[in-house]
Amino acid sequence: MSSQPGPSFGPTATVGILGTGQLGRMLALAARRMGFSVITTGDDPPGSPCGQVAEPVEDLATFLARAEVVTTEFENVDPAVLAAAALSRPGPSVVARCQNRRLEKAFLRDAGVPTVRHRVVGEDGGAAGAPDEAALRGDLASFGLPSVLKTAAFGYDGKGQWVLRNEADLAAVPLDAGPYVLEELVELAAEVSVVVGRGHDGATACYPVIENRHAHHILDVSVAPARIAPALAERAVQLAVTVAEALDAVGVLCVEFFVTTDGRLLVNEVAPRPHNSGHLTIEAAPTSQFEQQLRTVCGLPLGATVPFRPAAMANLLGELWSEGEPNWAAALDVPGVSLHLYGKAEARPGRKMGHLTAVASTPEEALELVVDARRRLSLRP
């Protein structure tokens, strides 16, 4: 499917960002560097990451009237808001598919993209489509264990999903959160992602494959290029382009993959926006994923994604503040390391407060540097 050429916008334009978090902040910083005016949907709570660097507009109607093009920093937005904008990239149909696992899995199946074996359960249940426990137990018995149960909507960073290794694990599942997607729990060799930009003319540009490691369902570190077989990396890029084209997406999106121990490459999820794993592109690539998002939604030529310096990224979660201010000087004493903080006032366990990036001559060296820098944050002066 090919996108139709549409309007282009130069640096005098006003870009509207739906959302006030760190992804919006980094997009706004890229846009302001290039001279664009940037507005965001309010500033709740006051001093939000995006609201610190973009102009907050509390009234949605005013926001939509002022923005010449609207984009989003996360997928859990009302597609009707995107539809009400003069121009939105990505469009409402893209976001609607990607914010619901049931719709996303159906789309991927129709696009011929390999996914983990799965089943939608709870569609015919009671309130909110929730099944009763007996029905869920029956689904588990016929589907097989171990498996992963995920809410169809509003899940991220491990929220809204439960690993079920036996029927007793079902006791932890809230039965009013359905419908659900039940997935086979596959044996993983690695998890990787591909960030792809797609313009309104159908042109695409992919960053090299990124290798990801999670802790407690939250992305912990990323390293690029991914240390996987070249043929597998090439296939991941091809599949990411297939997904972007099948969605007819205009913007930046991230396709997340499972690499199984038996050599299969399976699409896990699609994020219609820049992604945590792509933060390392700020230092590692000629065009960051955030500048690429700006270029695509404004109808500008896609930026270069290679040459690509080996790089690694480590998330900084709120736990690092548990004993006081982290030791920034110790971390920044590591050569090749850069610090990004998101301007969040309150550090809470599991909350993404910022990230570190390291660039080096090899992925292994970059990973070693960024992990060492993060370890130093906990050293007491």
User: Distance (Å, rounded) from C-alpha 139 to C-alpha 122?
Assistant: 9
Write down the pLDDT at residue 2. 57
What is the rounded end-to-end Cα distance, in angstroms, of the chain? 57
- pLDDT tens-digit series, residues 6-64: 889 999 999 999 999 999 999 999 999 999 999 999 777 788 999 999 999 999 999 99
- Ordered by start, the domain boundaries in the chain are 14-98, 117-184, 188-376
Q: Please answer whether residues 160 and 145 qualify as being in contact, where contact means their C-beta atoms are separated by less than 8 angstroms.
A: no
The top-level CATH class assigned to 117-184 is alpha beta
Contact 280/258 with Cβ under 8 angstroms? Answer: no
How confident is the model at residue 131, as a pLDDT? 65
- In the prediction, which pLDDT does 43 show? 73
The structure tokens listed for 103 are: 């719709």
Query: Is the distance from CB of 277 to CB of 193 less than 8 angstroms?
Result: yes
| Partners of 224 in the β-ladder | 311
CA–CA distance, 195 with 303 (Å, rounded to integer): 13
* Antiparallel, parallel or unpaired: β 188-198 and 251-260: antiparallel
DSSP strand pairing (352-359 vs 337-341): antiparallel
Burial 210-243 (b: 16+ CB within 10 A, else e): bbbeeeeebbebbbbbbebeeebbebbbebbbbb
Q: What is the pLDDT of residue 170?
A: 85
**pLDDT (0 to 100) of residue 128:** 45
- Topology alike, domains 14-98 and 117-184: no
Find out whether 282 and 288 touch, Cβ atoms under 8 Å.
Answer: yes
Q: Which parts of the chain have pLDDT scores under 50?
A: 1, 125-128
Instruction: For 14-98, give the CATH class.
Output: alpha beta
Collapsed DSSP state (helix, strand, coil) of residue 347:
coil
Dist. CA 302–CA 324, nearest whole Å: 42
How many whole angstroms separate alpha carbon 180 and alpha carbon 102?
8
Q: What superfamily would CATH give domain 188-376?
A: ATP-grasp fold, B domain (3.30.470.20)
For the entire predicted model, the pTM comes to: 0.94
- What pLDDT score does 113 carry? 97
